[in-house]
Amino acid sequence: MPPLAVSAITAFVLLNVVIGLVTYVTLLERKFAARMQSRIGPYRVGPHGLLQPIADALKLMMKEDIVPTAADRWVYNLAPVVFLVPCVLIFATLPFAPTLGLADLNIGVLFFLAVSSLEIVGLFMGGWGSNNKYALLSAMRAVNQIISYDLPFVFSALIPVVLVGSLQMSAIVLAQEGLWFVAYPVIGQLGFLAFLIATIAAENRVPFDILEAESELVAGFRVEYSGMKFALIQLGEYAHMIASSFLGALLFLGGWLGPGSDVPLVGALWFLLKAMLVFLLVTWVRWSFVRIRVDQILAVSWKLLLPATLILLFATAFWVALRGGPGA
Amino acid sequence: MADSEARRVIEMGYGGNERLVMNMGPQHPSAHGVFRAILTLEGETVVAVDAVIGYLHRCHEKLGELLTYVQYPTIASKTDYVAAMTAELAYVSAVEKVAKFEVPKRAQYLRVLAAELQRIASHCLWLGTWCLDMGGALGGGATVFLYCIRERELVLDLFESLTGARLLYGFHQPGGTRYDVPAGWAQKCRETVDLIEQRVDEYEAMLEDNTFFLVRTQGVGVISRELALEVGLSGPLARGSGIDFDLRRAAPYSSYEDFDFKVPVETAGDCYARYRVRMQEFRESIKIVRQVLDGLPEGPISSRPGVKSVGQVRAPKGEAYSRVEGARGEIGFFIVADGGPKAYRMKVRGPSFSNLAVLPHIIPGCKVADVVAIMGSVDPVFGEVDR
């Protein structure tokens, strides 16, 4: 087979795996949240509610697709796609196991960080194109927040990069063979903590979900979306979140490393397990806190998180220089 | 006050002219029913608010003239449907005052029991919905909400076994109560309040050790003592602003003087102070419930025969105003009787209505997110505002 065809097939498979994963992660989150709230969660569709995500997807497909009369049709219709594409694209560079993955770029981390911040374009298009005041306000908040939190997100993600001296994801994983970076003295724990906070904020999850803010802005930028367009936005959001969880697991928790990870499938399982751990951590935070205000969110970023991650990054660089070069 | 003058009072001096008028309600996730606030925004800051009420007007006062004294208590409970017991109590005590009915001691104690359990249930709902406003239906707020609803259900179960109803009870009748406590109920009630007392500790642990909750509530929506007096606030709002006033102690009704309880007062006047007041009221109400159960006297539950016909209660010519301390503040019913089985005129003083009047004074200058936090801390029930 020509290499192009192989790539295309791999991409197709990966895309479907990602979409399947995203749908089932929603079930995981709902079950997890239900347990936290002394509920049972979805239980009716299939055994233990296992078919619930499929039922949800089918329902959304059958919903009427409404375009507000006053909406900017082009922008409005295009926004979910523009939002979804970068969120799915970031999976391309993730190595799920030594040989499993679409493209192990030598600038993998950079690609991930750059593309993942592109979601803001689709988000703002949705908010603007809906021609709705709630959506507009939400889009304004989104721009504020995502720009503020992308910096600490990037800085904290760069800490392992500095330690390893490579932007290639597989190299970062292999460098953790002896010691996962989360166990790296001081730098590792602080870096992981900063990464988690920045992830929650960059994903717009409670307590930082001011753009959705359903008690103020109803549903924020997606208030006018229905049916499949809404599903695409939802899909994008969860895909982005899971991708960030994978990134966290890769940068700090040793990626696919674990007993028996020489077999690609076992490695991928380990990776998935670690990513789900990060995801559940984020979910735990989400279902425990109340939302904070927009000015407080910005203050947390610019006054605390940004200087802290910057100092941490410099400290890491200093340490690496002192040690005489990168490499774990 | 002329319209333009009112506007000048509530608008604050902000520079710039890029303003956005945003409609919050009447159909909005945190409208607490059907409240409509027309917000004028500059960026995220609210510079003016126009509060519109009246979407839930159901002619309660007119119904008070059309229905008899026997029929109306069930309608009175619909004014404040979250705390129906106290609204009923306020109405029947006004009828008793104008008709000069005696209320047996046992009935008075049962009324206190119902009112305090109702306060617990109402505060549970308030805490849940308020956190829902601040934390979102897809976040920690929903967690608190579901916990609170779990506890409210326990109280509603008690009411169900007492009266057969879970929301609107018809427990009171002029002259006493309609139902006595069934066998084994007191024990169940004790267990329930014991459990709720533990759970209140849990809520406090979850919220007060939570920095996000504190930054959202402390210093937000400050009502000064003067403003509270001027607007005529009552209930937890007034007590959160340092006004030490509680009708249960200031003008005891229904044997409240027999019970030992404290009136919590906070002086900060912000959302957090109102929260603290209500959390302490949980405990005080539980204390009162226990005292009632310990000292429940024997005897009849009503000085009047049971309800046989709708016209059997007649009040002589006269008028009376009766007020009770509800979960949201002073609930008052004013009745003008003309000798027949119906009131000639009836007027309701709903605490939510007066409390809501404070919003235009404290909202301008806040962020949009604070609007819902403040509104939730006011705890309005629109059945009572619009009546």
Parallel/antiparallel/unpaired status of strands B172-173 and B176-177: antiparallel
User: Are B140 and A294 an interchain contact pair (Cβ–Cβ within 8 Å)?
Assistant: no
Q: With contacts defined as CB-CB under 8 Å, which chain A residues touch B28?
A: 218
Q: Is the pLDDT of residue A312 over 60?
A: yes
Interface predicted TM-score (ipTM) of this complex, two decimals: 0.79
Sheet containing strand B330-337, strands side by side: B318-325, B330-337, B343-349
pLDDT band at B17 (very low <50, low <70, confident <90, very high): low
For position B122, what pLDDT does the model report? Answer: 92
Residue A214 in contact with partner chain B when CB distance is under 8 A: yes
Strand, coil or helix: what is B167? Answer: coil
Strand order in the sheet with B20-24: B20-24, B36-42, B45-52
pLDDT surpasses 80 at A325: no
Provide the percentage of residues in chain A whose pLDDT is more than 70. 99
Query: Is A39 in Cβ contact with B140 (below 8 Å)?
Result: no
User: Given CB atoms, is B329 within the 8 Å cutoff of chain A?
Assistant: no
Q: Minimal Cα distance from A295: which residue of B?
A: B367
Check CB contact under 8 Å for A206 and B136: yes
A39 at interface of B, judged by CB pairs closer than 8 A: yes
**Mutate: best of A216, A282, A284, A304, partner B, most B CBs <10 A:** A216
Place of tokens 């409005």: A76
A154 reaches B (C-beta below 8 A): no
Q: Would you state the pLDDT for residue A326?
A: 67
Distance from the Cα of B142 to chain A's closest Cα (Å) equals 7
Interacting residues of A326 by C-beta distance below 8 A, sequence separation 6+: A162, A163, A164, A165, A166, A320
Considering only CB atoms, which chain B residues are within 8 Å of A215? 29-30, 132-134, 136-137, 141, 372
pLDDT tens digit sequence for B291-332: 999 988 888 888 888 778 888 888 888 899 999 998 888 999
Select the residue of B143, B216, B370 nearest A37 (Cβ to Cβ): B143
B380 φ/ψ sector (left φ>0, alpha ψ -120 to 50, else beta):
beta
Looking at CA atoms only, how far is residue A217 from chain B in angstroms?
9
Q: What angle is formed at CA A279 by the lines to CA B205 and CA A262, rounded to 5 degrees?
A: 135
Q: Which of B134, B149, B375 to mutate to test the interface with A (most CBs of A within 10 A)?
A: B134
Beta carbons of A216 and B213 less than 8 Å apart: no
Question: Which residue from A minimizes the CA distance to B217?
Answer: A292
Q: Residues A163-194: pLDDT tens digits?
A: 888 888 888 888 888 778 777 777 788 888 88
Q: Domains, chain B, ranges and CATH?
A: 3-52 (no CATH), 60-386 (1.10.645.10)
**pLDDT, tens digit, 9 for 90 and up, residues B271-282:** 899 999 999 999
Chain A residues whose CB is inside 8 A of the B41 CB are 137
Handedness of CA A261, A262, A266, A268 (dihedral sign): positive
CA distance A114 to A102: 18
> Which positions in chain A touch B369 (Cβ < 8 Å)?
210, 213, 216, 291, 293-294
For residue range B44-58, list pLDDT tens digits in order: 888 888 888 888 888
Q: Does A274 touch chain B (CB under 8 A)?
A: no
Domain boundaries of chain A, sorted by first residue = 66-323
Per-residue CA distances from B82 to A284, B164, B274, B322, B382 (Å): 31, 17, 18, 20, 10
* pLDDT attached to residue B10: 42
Nearest to A289 among B133, B135, B369 (CB): B135
Contacts of A213 in chain B (CB under 8 A): 136, 369
Instruction: Tell whether A32 lies on the interface with B, counting CB pairs under 8 A.
Output: no
Global pTM?
Answer: 0.83
Q: In the A/B pair of chains, how many CB contacts fall below 8 A?
A: 117
Contact B111, B90 (CB under 8 A): no
Q: What's the CA gap between B373 and B371, in Å, rounded?
A: 5
Q: For residue range B75-89, list pLDDT tens digits in order.
A: 888 888 888 889 899
Instruction: Compute the distance between CA of residue B362 and CA of residue B220 in angstroms, rounded to an integer.
Output: 9
Residue of B nearest to A291 (CA): B135
